[in-house]
Amino acid sequence: MIQHTIEELHDLFKNQKVNPTEYYNELFKEIEIQQERLNAFVTITKDEALKSLSEASFNTLLSGIPYVLKDNYNTKDILTTASSRMLEDYVPVFSAHVVEKFKQEELCLVGKASMDELAMGGTNKSALTGAVSNPWDTKRIAGGSSGGSAALVASGVVPFALGSDTGDSIRKPAGFCGVVGFKPTWGRISRYGVIPYASSLDHLGAFTRNIRDMAIVIESMAGRDHHDMTSSFENVPHYLDNLNDDIKGKKIAVLRTVSDEITDQRFIDNFEHVVHTLKSLGATVEDVTMPKVLLRAILPTYTIISNAEATSNHSCLDGIKYGNLQAGASTDDVMINSRTNGFGDHIKRRFILGNLALATENQEKMFRKAQRVRRLIVDELNKIYEDYDIVLTPNGGSIAPLIDEASDDRFSDEYMILENHLALGNFAGLPSLSMPSGFVDNMPVAVNLMGRLFEEQTVLNVSYALENALGYKNQFSRED
C-alpha cells in the first residue's frame, strides 16, 4: 500500500479510492519499521504531517503527498541538526524557501533524514545518530551525505525526499540505493535556509523512484527567490508536460576517460549495455575524452575549495552565535570548548585544512590555485558541450561498501577518477542525474547523465527514454 508514485497517490486521494488518514496511519507504522531497520530518520514529524494532511485539498498533484527532508533544511519549530552535535538542540525560527514552497503546495513532511555531519562526507557514517543502512542490504552503507533521504525513498515509504549535493551527495547515494537522484543547474533552486557546506558548489535536489516523479518535484522546487541572490531569473519550464522519450537526434558523449577506469567486468558490461540502449533509441552516441591530468585533479581541487568555503560558512558555529554552548572562563574558551565538543574529528580535520588554505600566506598557492584549476577543468568540460547535449558516465565502479569497511579516504589510484568525477557537475554547475541501470551481486548500480546549463528538460527526457527502455523504475527494497 505504501510504495506509490506521486501520480498514483494523487489519484488515490483525489478520487477517494483510499482514506488519506488511514493511509497515513499505515504509513507511520511502516516508518517505524523502516527506522528500526535503516536508522535513516533524525526526527519523525507525525503531528506536523497529519496537520498538513487535514488542510490538504488534493486539487494538485502534490497536495497531501508525504515527503522527507535532509536534516540540513531549516524547518520552523522542528529540530534541524545537520546530524551534528553542535546543532543537536537547534530549532529554527524560520523555514528554508523550498520548505515554504512545499507548505503552499500542501505537501506533508513526515520526517527529517540523517546525513553525514554538516554534509561533509560520503558514507553517512558520521551522523550523530549513527550510520544509515542500505535497504537492499542493511550491512552496507546508503552513501552520503544524503544517505538517509536516499534510503527512505529506496525503502518505499515516501515517493520522494530532498537532499543537497556539493560533490556527489545526491547522486552517489542514489546509485547505491537504486533510485533516481537529480541536482539541477546551480541557481535553479533557492538555497535560502539550507545549512551550507561550500557555497560555490552546493546544489539542492531530490530523490525519486522514477523520472516522472522527478520532473514533478524539481518543477515545484525551482524558481527565483529574492532571499537567495544566487538563484536564477530563468523561467522554469513545465518539466512534466514537456517530458517525452523521443531522443532521436540527441547527441550523447560517452566520457571514456572515466568509463575506462572501471575494472569490474560486470560494471563494464552494464555500462556498455546502457550505451547500446541509447544508440538503439536513435541517439547519436560517441566517445570523448578529457585530459586525465585534469580529471585526477578533481579531488584535490574539490578538497581545498570545499573545505575552505566550509570553514568560512561555519565560523558562526561557535557556541555563542549558534551551536551547543559549552562553558569557559573567557569568550575564547567558550568558543574553543564549544567547537571541540560540538564537531566530530573528521570535521575538525576539514576545518584545519580550510583554515590552512585561507591563511594569508597560503591563499595564492592553495585556494586561488585550486580555483584556477577548477576553471581549467570546467573549460575543458564545456568544450564537449559545444557538440553534445549529454555527457554519459558510470555513476561509480562498485556497489555500496559494507558499513564496517566504508571510508572517505578517496585518494587511491583506482578511486581518483572513477569515484570522484561526479564533482564535475558541481564545478560547472550543470544539471546532473543518476539513475539505476541494473544490479551486481543483487545490489543496484547506476549511470549518470549530465547536461548543459539550465537544460534540465533534456537531461530528464534522455533519462526518461533510458528508464523506459531499461525498465529499472519504481524500485524499492523493504526486506532483509
Catalytic annotation, residues: 70, 145, 169
Residue with grid cell 584535490, as numbered in its chain: 300
End-to-end CA distance of the chain: 19
**Inter-CA distances, 466 with 206, 241, 277, 449, 477, Å:** 19, 18, 7, 10, 22
Q: From CA 106, how far away is CA 61, in angstroms rounded?
A: 10
Q: From CA 446, how far away is CA 435, in angstroms rounded?
A: 5
DSSP single-letter state for residue 76: T
Distance from chain centroid for Cα 222:
15
Q: From CA 213, how far away is CA 475, in angstroms rounded?
A: 13
Q: Which residues contact 82 (CB under 8 A, 6 or more apart)?
A: 71, 72, 115, 117, 118, 119, 195
Q: Which residues pair with 447 in a beta bridge?
A: 394, 435
Q: Are the C-beta atoms of residues 92 and 100 closer than 8 Å to each other? A: no
Q: Which residues contact 359 (CB under 8 A, 6 or more apart)?
A: none
| Element at 108 (helix H, strand E) | strand 108-113
Give which of 245, 237, 13, 236 is closest to 106, Cα–Cα.
13
Q: From CA 473, how far away is CA 86, in angstroms rounded?
A: 38
Q: Which three cell numbers mark 34?
A: 523502516
